[in-house]
Amino acid sequence: MAVKEVLIYPDAHLKKICAPIDNFTESAPQILQDLVDTMIAAGHSVGIAAPQIGDLYRVAVVDVSNSKLGKKQKNHGLLQMVNPEIIEKEGSQTIREGCMSVPDYTGNVTRSESIVVRFLDQNQQLQVIRCEGFEAIAIQHELDHLDGFLFLDRISSLKTDLFRRKQK
């Protein structure tokens, strides 16, 4: 479909709560494909959510299988999620996160170590999967976008847990 422009904070779309997709119409497959295309084109991304490309729907994609951290752990490959929700959480871990919508910074964020997420996939099939480690973190990060949260909102101290990225 298309590679879309990724919105950069403080764009107002990034702070809005997204609407569920009630009918799996033409819009859901198109948004999913636009997200996959945009994520792949970025070259370094492990996920992206619809509000990051200006679509205020509960749609996100995650694929940690090609990342350094994702290769070390079992993962589910490309997840295309419509109306995802986390229905179970366990444990806690802190990891440095970045975001295409906050390109100049990374930050230490504490998230659940293991989650169970329920969603409709690209074939309109209900999926309920358990994810751990980096994949669980990536999903939590993307689902935060659907509720208007950025990783910046999860940092406990902007003074000690926010870091400027090195410019190349």
Rg (CA), the chain: 15
Q: Return all residues near 63 (Cβ < 8 A) that are at least 6 apart.
A: 39, 46, 47, 70, 77, 78, 79
Domain spans in the chain, listed from the N-terminal domain onward: 12-164
Q: What is the mean pLDDT of residues 142-155?
A: 98
- The confidence score (pLDDT) of residue 24 equals 83
- CA-to-CA distance for 112 and 134, rounded, in angstroms? 10
Q: What is the mean pLDDT of residues 17-29?
A: 89
Architecture of domain 12-164: Alpha-Beta Complex (3.90)
Q: What percent of the chain has pLDDT over 90?
A: 86
Which pLDDT tens digit goes with each residue over 51-81? Answer: 999 999 999 999 999 888 777 788 999 999 9
Burial (CB < 10 A; 0-12, 13-18, 19+), residue 158, is: exposed
Name the residue with higher pLDDT: 29 or 24. Answer: 29
Q: Token digits for 119?
A: 């969603």
pLDDT score of 14 more than 80? yes
- The confidence score (pLDDT) of residue 18 equals 97
Mean pLDDT computed over every residue of the chain: 95
- The confidence score (pLDDT) of residue 167 equals 73
Q: Token digits for 59?
A: 């749609």
- CA-to-CA distance for 82 and 58, rounded, in angstroms? 6
- 142 carries an active-site annotation: yes
Q: What is the pTM of this model?
A: 0.96
- The confidence score (pLDDT) of residue 97 equals 97
* Cis preceding-peptide flag for 10 (omega within 30 of 0): yes
**Residue 43 DSSP class:** S
